[in-house]
Amino acid sequence: MSAVILLGHGSPDPRAGIGAAALAGRVADLLPDDEIRLAFLDNTAPTLTEAALTVAAHADITVVPVFLSRAYHVKVDVPAEVAKAGAAINREITITDPIGPDALLLGPLDAQLPPDAPVVLATAGTSDLEAQAAFDALALEWSARRGTPVLVAYASQAQPDIAAAITQLESVGEHKAAIARFLLFDGVFPDRIKATAGDRAISSVLGDEPLLAEIIADRVLATR
């Protein structure tokens, strides 16, 4: 039997932990021969090392970074924590690609938004220029697919912020902007984005989408 550890950021908001646990349950349904565990970088227990110790007897251990961009956490924090956990159990641990940004996730968001509306692709935020460029590429792909403008905006760390993106889109078109929350679980940033959206159409966060668990399962199977 193999073990899979879903490694998320962690949040002081309990809704994020509840969402992560529900996601882990859906992944377990798709990978019934694997033992599924959760771990977090910050704010929430257990740590990756603690989770790894509970599955150390398994032949293979795979860590899936539950992040929507290849920013600092994925580039630096995740490998460092995996190395620490591997040293603690004296085993090599496999790391998959993160779950985003993945264009497959645009479908569930698109289905929730008015077809003629320009879209703010709202993310938590990152100062990593490579991650920002990947979000811009995702927005261009979605814009071509929808036939409407799509503009990336950030809840923190980068510009434009959500309000500025809304203003920019609505200043050049006749439709109200719609807001696609490219975030995993409910918490501070999703709430902030929703408050800024006002009465505009807005998507749910992605954590409850069945497709997310399918992407995670595919990441795991691709390593085998």
Residues 114-147: tens digit of each pLDDT: 999 999 999 999 999 999 999 999 999 999 999 9
Residue 62 in 3-state DSSP? Answer: strand
What angle do the packed helices 210-222 and 14-30 form, to 10 degrees?
60
The most distant pair of C-alpha atoms in the chain lies apart, rounded to whole Å, by: 60
pLDDT tens-digit map of 182-220: 999 999 999 999 999 999 999 999 999 999 999 999 999
Separation between Cα atoms, residue 1 and residue 33, nearest integer Å:
6
Phi-psi region of 206 (alpha: psi -120 to 50; beta: other; left: phi over 0): alpha
- Tell whether the model's pLDDT for residue 1 goes beyond 90: no
**Chain centroid offset of residue 4 CA:** 17
pTM value is 0.95
Residue 139 in 3-state DSSP? Answer: helix
Is the distance from CB of 178 to CB of 119 less than 8 angstroms? yes
Tell me, what amino acid is at 204? S
